[in-house]
């Protein structure tokens, strides 16, 4: 998907922006490199490692946890308050993720003698 996006955007950017006329600062170039390495390359490496270790369900379950984590940070750091229904909704999200990702216990089969 990144290659397809680049194939579409590079010709468009060459025609519209004419990048050869730009002279970015050193801090801009370093910021671009940091975004490329940490936000894209490292994120993909972590993502595919998670798929390998947790499977697809466990890996995609993290997307559901973004909202409770963001809300928890806003409550802790910004002093926001939530209604009772919001707390119930957040608890349902966390319980749903736990139900999806925690492996079921296997019972030992008892053989009749």
Quickly list DSSP for the chain: -HHHHHHHHHHHHHHHT-GGG----HHHHHHHHHIIIIIIIHHHHHHHHHHHHHHHHHHHHHHHHHHHHHHHHHHHHH-----HHHHHHHHHHHHHHHHHHSPPPPPPPPPP-
| Cβ contacts of 54 within 8 Å, gap of 6 or more | 101
Residue 69 counted as domain residue:
yes
The predicted-structure confidence for 62-94, as pLDDT tens digits, reads as follows 788 888 889 989 999 999 998 999 999 999 998
The predicted-structure confidence for 11-48, as pLDDT tens digits, reads as follows 999 999 888 888 999 999 999 999 988 888 888 898 89
Residue 17 counted as domain residue:
no
Residue 34 counted as domain residue:
yes
CB 61 within 8 A of CB 95: no
Residue 41 counted as domain residue:
yes
Say how many C-beta atoms besides its own lie within 10 A of residue 50's C-beta: 15
* pLDDT mean over 96-112: 72
Range of the domain at 48: 29-101
The domain tally of the chain equals: 1
Residues in the chain: 113
Residue 14 counted as domain residue:
no
Flag whether the pTM goes above 0.85. Answer: no
Residue 107 counted as domain residue:
no
């Amino acid at each position: 998907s990144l290659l397809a996006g680049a194939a579409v955007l590079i010709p468009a950017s060459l025609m519209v922006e004419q990048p050869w006329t730009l002279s970015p600062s050193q801090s801009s170039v370093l910021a671009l490199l940091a975004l490329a390495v940490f936000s894209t390359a490292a994120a993909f490496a972590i993502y595919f490692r998670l798929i390998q270790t947790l499977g697809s369900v466990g890996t995609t379950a993290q997307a559901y946890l973004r909202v409770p984590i963001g809300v928890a940070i806003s409550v802790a750091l910004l002093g926001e308050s939530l209604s009772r229904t919001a707390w119930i909704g957040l608890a349902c999200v966390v319980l749903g993720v736990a139900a999806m990702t925690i492996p079921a216990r296997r019972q030992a089969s008892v053989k009749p003698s």
